[in-house]
Homo-oligomer: A and B are copies of this chain.
């Protein structure tokens, strides 16, 4: 299992618009092969970036997603946000889950 974290610096004045743009994104990735979960993380400290976290069965599954039409569509949508939305360039980090306890969670619970 891998986790990707796209770290996106967002200007606090534009945080609401940034969050709203994600509201209909999950449906694009939800059916991809090897997809496990998507989570949008809002930083408690406004100086930290937002993190778009996705879980995949393997790195190959994630790469296939980045080359898909659905990926292009989702990123075309977020590309419509004005440049001042962002406080810097995004940085993608990728990790392998090597230890852990069970994780059974739904947003809102």
Q: Which residues of A contact B (CB under 8 A)?
A: 1-3, 5, 19, 22-23, 26, 30, 36-45, 48, 51, 53, 55, 59, 93-107, 109
Given contacts A44-B94, A98-B107, 4 further A-B contacts (CB under 8 A): A37-B102, A41-B97, A43-B95, A44-B59
Known A93-B45, A93-B48, A94-B45: A40·B99 in contact at CB below 8 Å: yes
Query: Taking the full assembly, how many copies of this chain does it contain?
Result: 2
Report how far A97 CA is from B107 CA in the complex, Å.
Answer: 7
**A96 cross-chain contacts in B, Cβ below 8 A:** 41-42, 44
Q: How far is the CA of A5 from the CA of B3 in the complex (A)?
A: 13
Partner of A51, one of B19, B39, B95, B102: B95
For A103, give its contact among B23, B39, B43, B98 (CB under 8 Å).
B39
